[in-house]
Amino acid sequence: MKRSKTKLIVPSRSSRSFYGDGIPGVKPDDLAGKLIVVEGADGSGRSTQIALLVDWLETRGHATVQVGLKRSTLVSEELERAQNGNILSRTTLSLFYATDFADQLENVILPALKAGFIVLADRYIYTLMARDMVRGMDITWLKNLYGIALKPDAVFYLAIDPAELVQRNLAKTATLDYWESGMDLGLSRDLFDSFIEYQTLMRLAFRKLQRTYNFTTVDGNRPVDEVNAELQKKIEAVLVGK
Amino acid sequence: MKTFAELGFPGRLIAVEGLDGSGKSTQIYLLKRWLEAEGVKVYFSEWNSSELVKSATSKGKKRELLSPTTFSLIHATDFADRYERHLLPLLRAGYVVLCDRYVFTAYARDVVRGCPMGWVRGIYNFAALPDLTFFFKADLEVSLNRILDGRPKLKFFEAGMDLRLSPDPYESFRIFQGRILDQYLAMSSEFKFITIDANQRVETQQAEVRKLVNQRIDFDQFRRNSPLPLPPPVRRNGISKGKASDEGEEDSAA
């Protein structure tokens, strides 16, 4: 009888830390799982890539959990309402998002990592920081705020040309999202122009963050499979401990 | 950190701090009545009262969903909302703003809950300091008794039950309030708290408060009929392009 391969990779333990003081009472070394972050604009292929990665990881015997922004039990509803009404000022919105992040960090990410899961984060603190930077928030203030965040095992930033992003977004929804176009900034009254300008500013902010947070930029202009193959290769290196 | 006066705001901010049961809310209410009677443009803002954030906070409290970190952040969100939407514009328009609790409440409570002091203070550093901060200092037993005499049903977070100090809510409340008092006392001189002996009669305290406010604030500048002051310069920081924010302002002014 022909036997299938049953040997699985047991992820190596890595020494971990928080960016700042972290969460009171949480010891980072208790967290056996891996935290993989995929960053990028809407239309950069984040969700597609994450779905493929989940499939791939689970087939190979790893338990996974997915998290994303604005999914906390605590404030996601209120955050949605605030956004729709566009009534919050920048510091307030920033802190509201930080609350949402902290709630998921404490209730989903950390427990899952403790239990040895591979956590795939559809965006992490970098998107939140980049958005705030574009809106003029102080980077030192942001770094202090997100000192609660755990340093991930890998961060992939799917970089796409704004012109290509426009095409993908329009192909998907036939319109451009108000917030993804940065319309609150008053860059332009024209949605299309605003989108291009805002996404360019976001790329600049990400580039600035990259110097501090050292994530891997992945060329997202390529076909889905090609991008995924690159991600798989890099994640495999993380699992075996490089 | 600077006060609103030091930053050139035409308005003034007066804050009251103290333990639950110290009588600070009564005192700031009476101060408000007096200022109104004097024809001063006055606005009152209470801790944890922003409409939008409130529903999240009360859900979090009711279902006991809050950790020290999210407790801190959600109160900071609430504060930022009131600060940006009400306090700043009113202070630029020359109001006297009265705050029942200000950032010092967060400094004290969040640190007692285990959040690092530097982190908490860093989050609130967008806020200017009050021009006057009254700290109502009652003996711990006096404040506790004012709250506990009625044997009210203490709420989970109010009693500090999340800290697991004691399984008994009343005992937990006592320990929790004692620790908060220690935090207040530790920051009292750093932030130039004006300490009012809250064991005294209501009228005695109020007379003291009014005397100090009268000394520090020239009411003529803040009356309804006084001319509109010139707006102070807008503070800018971060990487947003000048062009972007200029256009934004033009839009909102139009």
Please write the tens of the pLDDT for every residue from B136-148.
Answer: 999 888 888 888 8
Q: For residue B154, what pLDDT is reported? A: 82
What is the Cα–Cα distance from B209 to B33, expressed in whole angstroms? Answer: 13
Name the H helices within chain B. 24-37, 51-62, 68-82, 88-92, 103-112, 117-123, 140-148, 169-187, 202-216, 242-253
Dump pLDDT digits (tens) for A54-88. 999 999 999 999 999 888 888 888 888 877 776 77
Cα of B84 vs its chain's centroid, Å: 14
Residue B158, C-beta contacts closer than 8 angstroms, at least 6 positions apart: B20, B173
CATH assignment of B12-253, among 3.60.15.10, 3.40.50.300, 3.40.50.1110, 3.20.20.450: 3.40.50.300
Of A94, A68, A67, nearest to A79 (Cα)? A94
Cα of A177 vs its chain's centroid, Å: 18
What is the Cα–Cα distance from B70 to B60, expressed in whole angstroms? Answer: 9
Q: How far is B220 from chain A, CA to nearest CA, in Å?
A: 32
Higher pLDDT, B245 or A11: A11
State the pLDDT confidence band at B177, using cuts at 50, 70 and 90.
very high
Its ipTM equals 0.86
Domain A28-239 class, CATH top level? alpha beta
Dump pLDDT digits (tens) for A12-24. 887 899 999 999 9
Q: Which residues of A touch B77 (CB under 8 A)?
A: 92, 95-96, 98-99
Query: Above 60 in pLDDT, residue B244?
Result: no
Instruction: Please name the amino acid found at residue A228.
Output: N
State the pLDDT confidence band at B239, using cuts at 50, 70 and 90.
very low
Residue to test with chain A: of B49, B52, B241, most A Cβ within 10 A? B52
Q: For residue B232, what pLDDT is reported? A: 60
CB contact under 8 A, B239 and A136: yes
Nearest to B251 among A25, A147, A186 (CB): A186
Ramachandran angles phi, psi of B8, nearest 5°: 85, 15
Q: Which residues of A touch B87 (CB under 8 A)?
A: none
Dump pLDDT digits (tens) for B207-220. 999 999 999 999 98
Residue A20, C-beta contacts closer than 8 angstroms, at least 6 positions apart: A143, A144, A146, A147, A148, A149, B116, B119
Q: What is the mean pLDDT of residues A223-235?
A: 97
Nearest to A74 among B56, B248, B251 (CB): B56
Q: For residue B233, what pLDDT is reported? A: 61
How many inter-chain contacts (A to B, CB under 8 Å) are there?
123
Q: Is B167 on the interface with A (CB under 8 A)?
A: no
Q: For residue B59, what pLDDT is reported? A: 83
Query: Above 90 in pLDDT, residue B231?
Result: no
Residue to test with chain B: of A96, A137, A207, A208, most B Cβ within 10 A? A96
Smallest CA–CA distance from B62 into chain A, residue:
A74
What is the Cα–Cα distance from A88 to A164, expressed in whole angstroms? Answer: 31
Of A216, A221, A242, A241, nearest to A231 (Cα)? A216
Dump pLDDT digits (tens) for B49-81. 888 788 888 888 888 889 999 999 999 999 999
DSSP lists the bridge partners of residue A118 as: A34, A64
Smallest CA–CA distance from B247 into chain A, residue:
A186
CB contact under 8 A, B80 and A137: no
Domain boundaries, chain B: 12-253
CB contact under 8 A, B73 and A95: yes
Of B253, B236, B184, B217, nearest to B14 (Cα)? B217
